[in-house]
Amino acid sequence: MKLKGRIIYKGIAQGEALVTSMGISFYGGVDPETGVIVERGHELEGQTIAGKVLVFPTGKGSTVGSYTLYRLKHGGKAPAAIVNAECETITAVGCIIAEIPCVDQIDIEHFKSGSHIIVDGEKGSVEIKTNQIEKQISV
């Protein structure tokens, strides 16, 4: 399945999806040294975002979250790419300064953790690979 969205930061990345229906605060919600979600009660608490295609509705929290994404990238613990329903300023700036491919305006209900995702920030598309069978829909 291939979905079309809005380009936040260009670049192409792929990997295992880590999906949540909850917003993410990178400042205070993610350990910048390990890439592990530490926000108490978050459905991804205890899981690492490092190297994953991180799929979540929108960011939240302090503007320091942008710098946290930058710090995660330079420490090798950042997500490979980010997919949002609506990318707010904190996540957008973080992706830009950390050079993390990001696409938003995507219906994230199609995604499941563990699936293989290809994010094409050059074309603004996100592709979900399912058992080597590719389906395409227009959104």
Query: Residues 62, 66, 115, 125: which is the catalytic one?
Result: 62
At CA 111, angle to CA 89 and CA 42, rounded to 5? 60
User: How big is the chain, counted in residues?
Assistant: 139
**DSSP for 35-63, written as a single string:** -BB--TT-TTTT-B-TTSEEEES-B-S-T
- Among candidates 47, 51, 48, which has minimal Cα distance to 15? 51
Catalytic site includes residue 62: yes
- Residues involved in catalysis: 62
